[in-house]
Amino acid sequence: MSQPRPGTRDRRAMLLEAVRDGSGGIAELAEEFGVSESTIRRDLASLAGAGHVVRTYGGALDTERSPREKDRENATAKEAIARQAAALVRDGEVVLLDAGTTTGRLARHLAHREGLTVVTNGVTAIRELAGFAGIDLIVLGGRLRHPNEAILGESVLAQLRHISPDRVFLGADGLVPSRGLCCPSLEQSVVKHAMLHAGAEAYVLADHSKLDQAPFSYWTPLDREYRLITDEPTIDAVYPPFAESVIVGDEHETVGGAAHHGRRGS
- Given this model, what pLDDT does residue 256 score? 33
- Nearest in space to 266 (alpha carbons), one of 165, 181, 191: 181
CATH architecture of the domain covering 70-248: 3-Layer(aba) Sandwich (3.40)
- The residue extents of the domains of the chain are 8-63, 70-248
* Mean pLDDT computed over 117-140: 96
Instruction: Give the long-range contacts of residues 44-53, CB within 8 A, separation 24 or more.
Output: 44/15, 46/12, 47/12, 47/15, 47/16, 47/19, 50/146, 51/145, 51/146, 51/147, 51/148, 52/16, 52/146, 52/147, 53/16, 53/19
* Mean pLDDT computed over 62-83: 72
- Given this model, what pLDDT does residue 261 score? 40
Pick from 44-53, 114-123, 145-154: least confident:
44-53
- Given this model, what pLDDT does residue 70 score? 59
| Residues in contact with 118: Cβ distance below 8 Å, sequence separation at least 6, in sequence order | 94, 95, 96, 97, 107, 110, 125, 129, 135, 136, 137, 138
* Mean pLDDT computed over 75-97: 95
Q: Is the pLDDT of residue 211 over 80?
A: yes
Q: Is the pLDDT of residue 16 over 70?
A: yes
Q: Is the pLDDT of residue 253 over 60?
A: no
Name the CATH topology of 8-63. Answer: Arc Repressor Mutant, subunit A (1.10.10)
- Nearest in space to 228 (alpha carbons), one of 194, 258, 259: 259
pLDDT digits (tens, 9 = 90+) for 190-208: 999 999 999 999 999 999 9
- Given this model, what pLDDT does residue 48 score? 67
Q: Is the pLDDT of residue 96 over 90?
A: yes
Q: Which parts of the chain fold into alpha helices (H)?
A: 8-20, 26-33, 37-49, 67-72, 75-88, 101-110, 123-129, 154-160, 186-196, 235-238
pTM: 0.74
* Mean pLDDT computed over 216-226: 93
